[in-house]
């Protein structure tokens, strides 16, 4: 058949339906009148002829219905009338409608908001050219238990020369740079990248140009590219910024281009985004000589795979290349370290860490929207039982059950779509608010927006919820027996078992979902509480920290801090002056403020360790994190020394190199032997001097409250200073009050050093928990909403039951049942429902809790306390919610109730 | 006079096509034409004509246009489309084949088996 003709005709009806309806009427009228006229001509009276014409024509409405059906638009017209009817019903029940739409708006809104984050962070492609070919290249020493280690320039060369898999590669070192030549020195977030970096990412400038191959210099190139944010902040967005000079770490640099606002550096940053990009060849001053064994470059290499090469193929090739390199340079790559090259998709590398948390949040909001829809289902069901008579009458008049189910579903979907639209609006309005609480360590947050995918998801959620809460009453109605419903409805009593079972099932599922949410929230909250109570190994109260960056000029000859001595002189002088600030009791320097985990200026993470007098073969898996501290650090932090001594001012350049190890290091590498007096060395370079262990300190949670078991070795900053330092002060003054004093003190020694991030230690600990607090509080909030809704549900069910059975209660009481019996009757029912729901919820939670294990710390996924407390709490609440209606049942006056019926 | 014959299932469409193939007709005219050419032998429920007309138009077999009737009133006239003409042709052929087949079956005598 001619589908095009049919579709055209159908479309005509959809578009011009009203006109065609009128034509249909006219056509039928013409027929009847013409026939009547013919009948008159045959001698029948005018009145009689019209009557007869109508009779012979048959039911006009049913014929018109058949006409609509034959062009396939009947359901369309019915939909229109269903929607009109549904809207009228919803408007007639403003209370119910408001509650339903508000809860839906919240449920869908929360889903939409969270999904907009999930979509931007986890699902969307990275905002770079051809992002599927972008990889992060990682060097590992699995034999030493080290991942993402430092590297040397020749190793970068190897990636392109030895393995034929990359189009281009670029290192990405990150960190601080001092901007001087302005009022006060300022710290900027810097990315030092290779000359192919922008071409790998396919970036285009907003104005000016980007750095490319043509700018190649073995050291730093003079040209820098700046971020949109920095451009607006520092230059007010002036277009003549191109060609202007910046003095960065003492060197004059020229701004050649500004990146667009949506460009983000594909790596972790301290302040959210890089402000200045500088390119370097990594093979001349200030970088070390490009010697293979001098692996001092920071981790973070990106590459673009050649077209048509899969990750797997590339990985296989690189594994082979690594083996080849190991064989060629056995001294640099000792066999036991098993040095390898690994590649991971860039997106996975960037967002892999936050995936579990975001998925847990998305799961929680989906659970809550289910709870919401079950709750609405319950309300609808209660309303539907009031409509049984209406439905029975319709059935009796010839409506088909399918037609009636369709009408009920239309009503529910109408509700859910209105709720969904309200939800999207809620999300649009609330997303901004929510984003203020979203932890900043989640990458790609700048990309969060409500796009078509998010709106599609919101629509899907609304329709699914509409189907969930629409199906229950629809199914129930479809089972209505005509005569019984009319009779039952007429009697206005009775709680039919079918309806009852459906409502019970809804309540039980609602309770089960509430249990799951509450267990999840319980586990996250317990983790958070445990972390807050965790002994960090030091006393964070009354400690203020600040960061100082000692610049690295391109030309070492112009570096006032070249070598060890000038830095040590600076450190000693800085400490002396800091102690004179009124209100400061103690001052110390560290390169690793606990819980901040800014490894951006540090050689990444742990370093390989050699222990003297150990056979080389047994040096496997030996590594530790190196922290440089000044003598008073442990005293200031109130970190107890377990054995030996702290550093002294005498542990300087001329003295014997000394280290202090923490408990984990002692336990791990010396077991029951005494480490004091033994000697260790970092790295594989045999020329480095041995360092003697002089003390053991209790573990300090340096890498975050939730990180255990990382060995730490402390060295004296007077023997091994570092350019990125932090000041710590023990003081009763708040950080804000000290900020300017700290600045002035630093600048009194060297006015070119940027001082930044002056905050209290407690604030830092607090920040390190932002992510966990955010997810725990969010899920906790959802769980309380679920608890509330579930208790409202059970309350509503029992209140309804009491109302329905008031006559029965009256009879029972008239026959001698006591109030206690009646109370028990309903309490038992509430408790039974709660019990079943809770058991089901506990079983579901127990089988899914292990999915959350990566989000937990110190709490097992099957934590007995949570699994005991949650059911108990829910049970108590459920029984309380049942008690109120049950008590009302005992107030039933037998005479009144009996007479009323 | 014999009782009017009930319309065979599915033949109404064919009759409508035939009726309008003789010239454009409005709905009532289709009814009259069928009754006329059948010698008042066929019983058609008047109202059921219209769903059939709409279906045929929907399928593109007939087309409709508003015009003026004999008694100077606005009426909707149906006419056969090219597709309708083809359809009528093939339906007629099918019908004739079927009819002659059935007829020959019914004519069968015991000797012929």
Find which of A34, A59, A60 to mutate to test the B interface (most B CBs within 10 Å of its CB). A34
Give mean pLDDT, residues A8-13. Answer: 76
In the numeric block, which tokens belong to residue A890? 């005992």
At A166, phi and psi to the nearest 5?
Answer: -100, 140
From the list A30, A66, A71, the residue facing B75 with the nearest CB is: A30
Rounded CA-CA distance B10/B7 in Å is: 8
Q: Please return the burial class of B63, using the count of CB atoms within 10 Å of its CB with bins 0-12, 13-18 and 19+.
A: middle
| pLDDT per position as a tens digit, A89-127 | 888 888 888 888 888 898 999 999 999 999 999 988 899
Spatial CB neighbours of A7, under 8 Å, sequence gap ≥ 6:
none
Rounded CA-CA distance A202/A134 in Å is: 11
Closest by Cα among A202, A178, A334, A204 to A261: A204
Least confident of A165-169, A255-259, A464-468, A865-869: A464-468
Rounded CA-CA distance A539/A123 in Å is: 41
> Do the beta carbons of residue A724 and residue A709 sit within 8 Å?
no
As a residue count, chain B comes to 113
What per-residue confidence (pLDDT) applies to A439?
Answer: 83
In the numeric block, which tokens belong to residue A737? 């009050």
In the numeric block, which tokens belong to residue A595? 């819980």
Closest by Cα among A102, A117, A90 to A422: A102
Closest by Cα among A628, A694, A698 to A663: A698
| pLDDT per position as a tens digit, A141-197 | 888 778 888 889 999 999 989 988 999 999 998 888 999 988 889 999 999 999 999
DSSP, collapsed to helix, strand or coil, labels residue A756 as strand
What per-residue confidence (pLDDT) applies to A493?
Answer: 43
> Do the beta carbons of residue A892 and residue A813 sit within 8 Å?
yes
In the numeric block, which tokens belong to residue A109? 């809104």
CA distance B109 to chain A (A): 41
| pLDDT per position as a tens digit, A268-277 | 777 778 999 9
β B74-80/B25-26 pair status: antiparallel
DSSP, collapsed to helix, strand or coil, labels residue A386 as helix
What per-residue confidence (pLDDT) applies to A169?
Answer: 94
Any alpha helices (H) in A447-553, and if so which ranges?
452-478, 482-491, 497-533
Rounded CA-CA distance A570/A577 in Å is: 11
From the list B55, B60, B83, the residue facing A70 with the nearest CB is: B55
Whether residue A617 is predicted with pLDDT greater than 90 in this model: the reply is no
Mean pLDDT rounded to a whole number for chain B: 84
Rounded CA-CA distance A789/A374 in Å is: 9
> Do the beta carbons of residue A689 and residue A601 sit within 8 Å?
no
Q: What is the CA radius of gyration of chain B?
A: 17
Q: CA separation (Å) from A660 to A317, A589, A691?
A: 42, 15, 10
Q: B46 and A9 in contact by Cβ < 8 A?
A: no
At A794, phi and psi to the nearest 5?
Answer: -70, -35
At A105, phi and psi to the nearest 5?
Answer: -60, -40
Q: CA separation (Å) from A840 to A429, A843, A845, B42?
A: 37, 5, 9, 68
Closest by Cα among B54, B36, B47 to A28: B47
In the numeric block, which tokens belong to residue A174? 């990150």
Q: A66 and B48 in contact by Cβ < 8 A?
A: yes
Q: A31 and B27 in contact by Cβ < 8 A?
A: yes
Mean pLDDT rounded to a whole number for chain A: 87
> Do the beta carbons of residue A534 and residue A699 sit within 8 Å?
no
What per-residue confidence (pLDDT) applies to A380?
Answer: 82
Q: What are the residues facing A695 on neighbouring strands?
A: A644, A660
**A614-620 long-range CB contacts below 8 Å, 24 or more apart?**
A616/A334, A616/A336, A617/A336, A619/A336, A620/A143, A620/A144, A620/A336
Give mean pLDDT, residues A249-276. Answer: 89
pLDDT higher at A574 or A55 = A574
CA count, 13 A, side-chain hemisphere, A467: 5
Cβ-based contacts of B60 with chain A (< 8 Å): 2, 5-6, 9
Cβ-based contacts of A54 with chain B (< 8 Å): none
Report ipTM for this prediction. 0.86
As a residue count, chain A comes to 901
Give mean pLDDT, residues A631-646. Answer: 95
In the numeric block, which tokens belong to residue A626? 């190196």
What per-residue confidence (pLDDT) applies to A612?
Answer: 85
Find which of B58, B60, B74, B84 to mutate to test the A interface (most A CBs within 10 Å of its CB). B58
What per-residue confidence (pLDDT) applies to A545?
Answer: 96
What per-residue confidence (pLDDT) applies to A310?
Answer: 93
DSSP, collapsed to helix, strand or coil, labels residue B27 as helix
Q: A28 and B50 in contact by Cβ < 8 A?
A: yes
> Do the beta carbons of residue A811 and residue A898 sit within 8 Å?
yes
In the numeric block, which tokens belong to residue A411? 């009503």
> Do the beta carbons of residue A545 and residue A760 sit within 8 Å?
yes
Rounded CA-CA distance A50/A37 in Å is: 8
In the numeric block, which tokens belong to residue A618? 């047994």
pLDDT band at B1 (very low <50, low <70, confident <90, very high): very low
From the list A2, A28, A31, the residue facing B83 with the nearest CB is: A2
CA distance B17 to chain A (A): 16
| pLDDT per position as a tens digit, A453-481 | 999 999 999 988 888 888 877 777 666 66
At A598, phi and psi to the nearest 5?
Answer: -85, 90
Q: A30 and B73 in contact by Cβ < 8 A?
A: yes
What would the DSSP string read from start to end of B51-69? HHHHHHHHTTSEEEEEEE-
Whether residue A604 is predicted with pLDDT greater than 50 in this model: the reply is no
Closest by Cα among A761, A411, A385 to A595: A761
Find which of B13, B32, B34, B50 to mutate to test the A interface (most A CBs within 10 Å of its CB). B50
Q: What are the residues facing B42 on neighbouring strands?
A: B5
Give mean pLDDT, residues A324-347. Answer: 90
* Secondary structure letter of residue A146 according to DSSP: B
CB atoms within 10 A of CB A146: 21
Cβ-based contacts of A71 with chain B (< 8 Å): 54-55, 57-58
Nearest-10 crossing angle of helices A770-804, A806-814: 60
Q: Please return the burial class of A739, using the count of CB atoms within 10 Å of its CB with bins 0-12, 13-18 and 19+.
A: middle
Residue of chain B nearest A8, judged by CA positions:
B58
Rounded CA-CA distance A254/A258 in Å is: 12
pLDDT band at A230 (very low <50, low <70, confident <90, very high): very high
Cβ-based contacts of B66 with chain A (< 8 Å): 23
At A180, phi and psi to the nearest 5?
Answer: -120, 180
Rounded CA-CA distance A662/B42 in Å is: 107
* Secondary structure letter of residue A289 according to DSSP: P
In the numeric block, which tokens belong to residue A213? 């191959």
Give mean pLDDT, residues A426-444. Answer: 85
Q: A57 and B47 in contact by Cβ < 8 A?
A: yes
What per-residue confidence (pLDDT) applies to A499?
Answer: 64
At B31, phi and psi to the nearest 5?
Answer: -60, -50
What would the DSSP string read from start to end of A257-285? EE--TT---SS--SSSS-SEEEEE-SSST
Rounded CA-CA distance A595/A601 in Å is: 15
From the list B28, B54, B74, the residue facing A31 with the nearest CB is: B28
In chain B, what are the domain boundaries? 5-112
What would the DSSP string read from start to end of A242-258? TT-EEEETTEEEEEEEE
- Sign for the pseudo-dihedral over CA of A58, A59, A61, A65: negative
Q: CA separation (Å) from A254 to A162, A248, A444, A551, B42?
A: 35, 10, 29, 18, 98
From the list B45, B71, B76, the residue facing A27 with the nearest CB is: B76
Q: At the topology level of CATH, where does B5-112 sit?
A: Arc Repressor Mutant, subunit A (1.10.10)
What per-residue confidence (pLDDT) applies to A603?
Answer: 41
Q: CA separation (Å) from A847 to A220, A822, A850, A851?
A: 56, 38, 7, 9
Cβ-based contacts of A28 with chain B (< 8 Å): 47, 50
From chain A residues 45-104, the ones with a CB under 8 A of any chain B CB are: 56-60, 62-64, 66-67, 69-72
DSSP, collapsed to helix, strand or coil, labels residue A848 as helix
> Do the beta carbons of residue A270 and residue A600 sit within 8 Å?
yes
pLDDT band at A298 (very low <50, low <70, confident <90, very high): confident
Q: Please return the burial class of A520, using the count of CB atoms within 10 Å of its CB with bins 0-12, 13-18 and 19+.
A: buried
Rounded CA-CA distance B95/B11 in Å is: 10
Any alpha helices (H) in A849-863, and if so which ranges?
none
What per-residue confidence (pLDDT) applies to A471?
Answer: 81
pTM of the full structure: 0.78
Give mean pLDDT, residues B72-87. Answer: 89
> Do the beta carbons of residue A368 and residue A110 sit within 8 Å?
yes
In chain A, what are the domain boundaries? 3-72, 74-129+353-494, 142-338, 504-533+769-901, 543-762
Rounded CA-CA distance A584/A739 in Å is: 12
| pLDDT per position as a tens digit, A368-393 | 999 988 888 888 887 777 677 777 77
Closest by Cα among A460, A369, A442, A499 to A104: A369
pLDDT band at B6 (very low <50, low <70, confident <90, very high): low
What per-residue confidence (pLDDT) applies to A383?
Answer: 75
What number of helices (H) and strands (E) belong to chain B? 4, 5
């Amino acid at each position: 058949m001619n589908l095009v003709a049919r579709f055209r005709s159908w479309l005509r009806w959809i578009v011009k339906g009203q006109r065609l309806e009128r034509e249909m009427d006219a056509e039928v009228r013409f027929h009847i009148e013409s026939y009547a006229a013919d009948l008159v001509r045959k001698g029948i009276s005018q009145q009689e002829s019209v009557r007869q014409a109508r009779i012979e024509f048959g039911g006009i409405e049913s014929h018109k219905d058949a006409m609509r059906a034959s062009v396939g638009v009947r359901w369309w017209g019915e939909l229109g009338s269903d929607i009109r009817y549904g809207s009228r019903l919803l408007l007639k029940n403003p209370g119910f409608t408001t509650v339903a739409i508000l809860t839906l708006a919240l449920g869908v809104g929360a889903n939409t908001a969270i999904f907009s984050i999930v979509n931007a962070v986890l699902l969307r492609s990275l905002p770079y050219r051809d992002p599927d070919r972008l990889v992060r290249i990682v060097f590992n020493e699995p034999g030493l238990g080290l991942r993402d280690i430092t590297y040397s320039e020749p190793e970068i060369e190897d990636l392109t020369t030895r393995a034929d898999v990359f189009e281009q590669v670029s290192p990405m070192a990150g960190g601080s740079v001092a901007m001087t030549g302005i009022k006060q020195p300022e710290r900027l977030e810097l990315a030092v990248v290779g000359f192919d970096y922008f071409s790998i990412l396919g970036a285009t400038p907003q104005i000016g140009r980007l750095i490319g191959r043509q700018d190649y210099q073995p050291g730093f190139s003079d040209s820098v590219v700046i971020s949109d944010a920095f451009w607006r902040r520092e230059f007010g967005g002036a277009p003549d910024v191109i060609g202007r000079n910046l003095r960065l770490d003492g060197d004059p640099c020229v701004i050649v281009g500004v990146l667009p606002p949506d460009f983000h550096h594909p790596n972790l940053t301290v302040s959210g985004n890089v402000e200045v990009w500088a390119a370097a060849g990594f093979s001349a001053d200030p970088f070390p000589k490009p010697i293979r064994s001098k692996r001092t470059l920071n981790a973070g290499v990106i590459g673009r795979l050649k077209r048509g090469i899969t990750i797997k193929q590339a990985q296989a090739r690189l594994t082979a290349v690594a083996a080849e390199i190991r064989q060629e340079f056995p001294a640099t790559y000792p066999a036991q370290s098993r040095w390898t090259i690994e590649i991971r998709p860039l997106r996975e590398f960037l967002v892999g860490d936050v995936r579990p948390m975001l998925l847990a949040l998305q799961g929680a909001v989906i659970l809550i929207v289910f709870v919401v829809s079950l709750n609405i289902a319950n309300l609808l069901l209660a309303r539907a039982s009031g409509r049984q008579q209406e439905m029975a009458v319709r059935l009796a008049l010839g409506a088909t059950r399918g037609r009636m189910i369709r009408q009920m579903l239309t009503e529910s979907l109408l509700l859910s779509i209105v709720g969904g639209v309200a939800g999207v609006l809620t999300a649009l309005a609330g997303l901004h608010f929510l984003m203020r609480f979203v932890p900043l360590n989640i990458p790609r947050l700048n990309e969060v927006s409500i796009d078509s995918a998010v709106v599609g998801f919101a629509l899907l959620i609304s329709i699914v919820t509409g189907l969930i809460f629409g199906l229950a009453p629809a199914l129930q109605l479809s089972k209505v027996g005509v005569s019984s419903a009319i009779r039952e409805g007429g009697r206005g009593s009775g709680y039919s078992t079918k309806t009852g079972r459906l409502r019970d099932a809804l309540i039980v599922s609602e309770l089960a979902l509430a249990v799951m949410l509450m267990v999840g929230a319980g586990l996250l909250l317990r983790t958070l509480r445990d972390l807050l109570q965790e002994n960090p190994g030091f006393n964070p109260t009354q400690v203020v920290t600040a960061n100082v960056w000692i610049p690295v000029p391109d030309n070492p000859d112009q570096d006032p801090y070249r070598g060890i001595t000038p830095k040590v002189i600076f450190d000693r002088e800085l400490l002396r002056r800091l102690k004179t600030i009124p209100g400061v009791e103690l001052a110390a320097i560290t390169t690793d403020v606990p819980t901040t985990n800014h490894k951006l200026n540090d050689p990444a993470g742990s370093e390989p360790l050699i222990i003297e007098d150990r056979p080389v073969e047994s040096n496997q898996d030996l590594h530790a994190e190196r922290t440089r501290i000044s003598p008073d650090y442990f005293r200031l932090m109130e970190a107890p020394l377990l054995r030996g001594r702290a550093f002294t001012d005498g542990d300087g350049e001329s003295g014997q190199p000394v280290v202090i190890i923490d408990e984990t290091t002692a336990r791990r590498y010396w077991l029951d032997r005494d480490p004091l007096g033994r000697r260790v060395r970092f790295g594989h370079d045999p020329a480095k001097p041995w360092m003697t262990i002089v003390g053991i300190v209790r573990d300090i949670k340096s890498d975050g409250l939730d990180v255990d078991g990382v060995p730490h070795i402390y060295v004296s900053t007077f023997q091994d200073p570092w350019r990125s330092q932090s000041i710590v002060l023990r003081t009763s003054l708040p950080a804000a009050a000290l900020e300017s004093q700290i600045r002035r003190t630093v600048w009194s020694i060297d006015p070119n050093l940027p001082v930044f991030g002056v905050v209290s230690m407690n604030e830092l600990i607090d920040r390190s928990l932002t992510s966990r607090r955010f997810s725990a509080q969010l899920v906790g909030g959802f769980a309380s909403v679920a608890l509330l809704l579930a208790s409202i549900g059970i309350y509503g069910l029992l209140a309804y039951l009491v109302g329905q059975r008031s006559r029965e209660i009256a009879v029972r009481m008239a026959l001698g049942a006591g109030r206690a019996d009646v109370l028990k009757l309903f309490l038992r029912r509430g408790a039974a429902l709660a019990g079943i729901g809770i058991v089901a919820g506990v079983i579901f939670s127990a089988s899914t809790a292990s999915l959350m294990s990566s989000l937990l710390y110190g709490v097992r996924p099957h934590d007995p306390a949570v699994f005991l407390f949650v059911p108990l709490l829910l049970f108590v609440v459920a029984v309380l919610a049942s008690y109120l209606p049950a008590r009302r049942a005992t107030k039933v006056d037998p005479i009144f109730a009996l007479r009323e019926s | 006079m014999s009782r009017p014959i009930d319309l065979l299932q599915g033949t109404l469409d064919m009759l409508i096509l035939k009726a309008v193939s003789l010239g454009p007709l409005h709905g009532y005219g289709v009814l009259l034409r069928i009754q006329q050419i059948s010698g008042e032998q066929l019983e058609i429920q008047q109202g059921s004509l219209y769903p059939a007309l709409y279906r045929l138009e929907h399928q593109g077999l007939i087309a409709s246009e508003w015009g003026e009737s004999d008694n100077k009133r606005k009426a909707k006239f149906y006419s056969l489309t090219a597709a309708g003409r083809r359809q009528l042709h093939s339906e007629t052929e099918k019908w004739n084949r079927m009819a002659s087949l059935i007829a020959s079956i019914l004519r069968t005598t015991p000797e012929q088996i």
